[in-house]
Amino acid sequence: MLKTMKEAERDACLQVADLMVTAAKTAPKGSGKDTVEACIVTGKEKDLLAEAMRQLGAEYEEEFIIRDAGNVDNSHCVVIIGCRSTPFGLSSCHMCGFENCGEMKKAGTNCVFNLTDLGIAIGSAVSVAADHRIDNRVMYSAGKGALKAGLLSKEVKVCYGIPLGAESKSIYFDRNPGAVLR
């Protein structure tokens, strides 16, 4: 068997994506409640994500979202990490800016514990990618596209996407939309 460098790069990205999802799962959670969800997107689903991002870019008239869709196209895979909106049921936390969890839920916003847990999970995941020298970038735009494409459960209201690649120069650094991984 002969495995080419391109095949090894792709396989390494997929292996690291598995480790990233696991790191997100095992990251510390506020009060021990786990609201984090994650998935790995490749193939048709990755194409669906990029198309959803292009639609959002056109709808919002934001060129950076369309540029980011090109980065997703040229990535081996994308790790999506989000959190379910699950109020803790506290009577007087105030951390989210509302009197209590009931008021926060009525307003349709997110629990600060959930969002903090999401940030910690993303930090854990990208540290795994960095430890394995896999190019990556945390993208709001890919998260928004993942929500539009329905890649996580309907309870997830906030998520981010982290495309992964392995090139001699990261396509996520200078954001050159012409860089291709294939």
Are the beta carbons of 112 and 102 closer than 8 angstroms? Answer: no
Rounded-to-integer distance, Cα 128 and Cα 31, Å: 24
pLDDT in tens, the chain (182 residues): 999 999 999 999 999 999 999 999 999 988 778 999 999 999 999 999 999 999 999 999 999 999 999 999 999 999 999 999 888 888 888 888 998 888 888 998 889 999 999 999 999 999 999 999 999 999 999 999 999 999 999 999 999 999 999 998 888 887 654 444 44
- Return the structure tokens found at 3: 């495995």
Rounded-to-integer distance, Cα 157 and Cα 106, Å: 15
pLDDT score at 180: 47
pLDDT score at 175: 62
Label residue 77 left, alpha or beta by phi (over 0 means left) and psi (-120 to 50 means alpha). Answer: beta
pLDDT score at 32: 78
